Structure 1
């Protein structure tokens, strides 16, 4: 009777388990995030009583599907399509003329078709006579009256949009995850983690404000490619076998990466519309929402690894660490090749 030979190299099986689990997660998340869409926008401009032109902007998923957001006037207006265009390869812009039976301020808008990855619609209506109405429609508040003297815009709406932009932007989430994993590899202090996140926050707050205010113009495709490269850089640093303590160059790079990601946040919102009459308040609310989403990602990671450590299974933290690293490397390499090829 042959005895089973003992396992001589359990580390090999652990590595195989990590690789297979990571690849499965890449495939699962890849399909799920292929439908990433985000905020939609509707801009109305009334040229004469009840008549004017509208621009309807909706994001397009990686699979070619369009955000299912739609809208309707009450009382109904006749809408005549004028054209359809694609912006930055991922946003569909529809233009049309509208003709209503009365002045636009006697009408209201109702939005429908909200889904998890297309959760809101920013509305801007320039009425005849010079007044501008702003609103953010959501499943909780799907209607907006285009009346003069309508209640002021709720800034919590832009706070919520900021959270959504952070959590629905997988490249941004993976960058924060990469910062956390690199900090964990370097066995850094809590102060170092807070300092790195603060630097990243300051960096993206600066470019977010500069681009939205129109003081800085950045090339969209180049920024998207560099954002992908920033995630890939972190993945490489985490994968390197040697132990490196954070250097001055490391801190400078984090600040520069913050500037890059801030440009990305701004580009996703600058054409959607911030209210000009209260731009700073909306911009601040949006930025605070980004920080809340960023904090949620970090707290989730801290909680996850703390729970794994308490499970008293030594392999679990290592498997999770390397699985997340595979996600970082796989997605960032794919995005880098895809975005650089598009840019070139």
Structure 2
């Protein structure tokens, strides 16, 4: 059992600090008769993917990569480049490249974007198209759909999606979200009984369902970078709690955890870091009190229901990140929320079932080691991974 869980933790550790943030780019297409103006915008992190050493590419390198992977065709005739592609000014942390295509005809135009899919199969491009009539159309381009036919571009990429598509999106968000799976591993470790596991899963579900609905409906719009960092913090905290309960020394661990977060707030006041000082101080106070209380409660199952509800609120904003970047059809909003939430539940129950089932199977095969040893090793791994992600996303 310890080998299985330790291997799982090791695999999770290989994920980058931005594990939750998906790979994406943005394109803006202005169709003016037989001319098409294209602007490609992408984060610096995406641009680094095209170099072998991970360094930011210079402008010629970026243009050389993008040029053969973007284009326009009029029927079977490819459109020619009217000007030399050029890099233009962009917001801090982003890169922008402009293209201009001249087509032999304004009929049957087909827009193509094929960049990054060979590097990251799950990459998405969020395309906004301004038609000659002045209307704006939004589409989502993926490795399976790299072209847009202007004759059929009459709505967002989700308008034609059905309930099962939304369910699949939720399932894949869990399966491709290494940080969410890490958190679920921590919930399995902290739960000694099935009743405890039921409490924490219930709290987590209630929390993420609430904030997912609030974010998608526009009631609350979270800051994506802050949410990614807090998701990582929840992973570290669930690992620290496992160690605190096992070692029965919550006071010392609470002091260290709260102290580190307050120290980060002091650094932010000095201009170092990204997270607001008040957010870090609040997180430090919450973390210290949470660890102190959980370490002294004899039956912490019901307490963890409340705490994982709070953690679920944070993860729910993380789940919403996939949807907030897409044009959400208002007529399908209820169907999307129910389907996506159902998919998330199917994904997390699958992960929890596989982990719990593996433990039961190994126990029956008498291949298990003492629980304290397993918890210590895996919890230490979660603390290391969560801290690495949290620091990476905070600075």
TM bucket normalised to smaller:
0.7 to 0.9
User: What pairs up with 1:84-233 in 2 under 5 angstroms?
Assistant: 85=90, 92-101=94-103, 102-103=105-106, 106-111=109-114, 113-114=116-117, 117-124=120-127, 125-148=129-152, 153-155=160-162, 158-183=166-191, 185=192, 187-189=193-195, 192-233=196-237
Aligned to 1:42: 26
- 1:111 shift after superposition: 2.7
Cα 1:120–1:227 change in 2 (3 A) is closer
- What's the CA shift for 1:99? 3.3
Distance 1:123 1:337, change over 3 A: closer
Q: Partner of 2:59 in structure 1?
A: none
SS in 2 for 1:51: strand
**2-structure distance, mates of 1:261, 1:208:** 9
Q: CA deviation at 1:138?
A: 3.8
Residues 139 and 171 (structure 1), Cα distance of their counterparts in 2 relative to 1, 3 Å cut: same
- 2:45 is the counterpart of 1:60: yes
C-alpha change, 1:126 and 1:214, in structure 2 (3 Å) is farther
User: 2-side partners of 1:116 and 1:294: how far apart?
Assistant: 27
Structure 2 CA distance for partners of 1:206 and 1:336, relative to 1, 3 Å: same
Please say if residues 200 and 254 of structure 1, whose CA atoms lie closer than 8 Å, have aligned partners that are also in contact: yes
Structure 1 residues 84 and 133, CA, compared in 2 at 3 Å: closer, same or farther? same
Does structure 2 conserve the Cα–Cα contact (< 8 Å) formed by 1:204 and 1:260? yes
Q: Which residue of 2 aligns with 1:326?
A: 380
Secondary structure of 1:94's counterpart equals strand
Q: TM-score normalised to the size of structure 1?
A: 0.72
- Cα deviation digits, residues 178-223 of structure 1 (max 9, x gap): 112111x3x242xx53443233123223222323333213334433
1:259: Cα distance to partner? 1.0
Partner SS, residue 199 of structure 1: helix
Please report how far the alpha carbon of residue 305 of structure 1 lies from its aligned counterpart in structure 2 after TM superposition.
Answer: 1.0
From the two aligned structures, give the one with the greater helix fraction: 2
Q: Please say if residues 200 and 304 of structure 2, whose CA atoms lie closer than 8 Å, have aligned partners that are also in contact.
A: no
Normalising by structure 2, report the TM-score: 0.64
For the residues of structure 2 that align with 1:235 and 1:77, how far apart are their CA atoms? 56
| Cα distance in 2 for residues equivalent to 1:100 and 1:41 | 24
The answer as to whether partners of 2:12 and 2:178 remain within 8 angstroms in 1 is no
Alpha-carbon distance, 1:33 to partner:
4.0
In structure 2, list runs of 5 or more residues that go unmatched: 52-64, 249-296
Measure how far apart 1:317 and its partner are.
6.6
Number of residues paired by the alignment? 314
CA distance in 1, matches of 2:216, 2:97: 23
Residue 277 of structure 2 is aligned to residue 273 of structure 1: no
- Contact map agreement 2:72 2:101 (CA 8 A) in 1: no
Q: Is the Cα–Cα contact under 8 Å of residues 218 and 263 in structure 1 kept in the other structure?
A: yes
* Partner in structure 1 of residue 366 of structure 2: 312
Alignment of 1:262 with 2:316, yes or no, is yes
> Where does the alignment leave 5 or more consecutive residues of structure 1 unmatched?
1-13
Name the CA distance, whole Å, in 2 between partners of 1:132 and 1:301: 46
Cα pair 1:41 1:273 within 8 Å, conserved? no
Out of 70, 77, 83, the residue aligned to residue 88 of structure 2 is 83
Q: SS in structure 2 opposite 1:326?
A: helix
CA distance in 1 between partners of 2:338 and 2:27 (Å):
22
Is contact 1:226-1:260 (8 Å) kept? yes
Aligned-partner Cα distance in 1 for 2:135–2:317:
30
Q: Which has the higher contact order (CA 8 A, sep 6+)?
A: 2
- Give per-residue Cα distances to partners, 1:47-99, cap 9 Å, x unaligned: 633434434446837x9536999544333463744436577x6xx45353543
Q: CA deviation at 1:146?
A: 2.6
Q: How far 1:325 moved relative to its partner?
A: 1.9
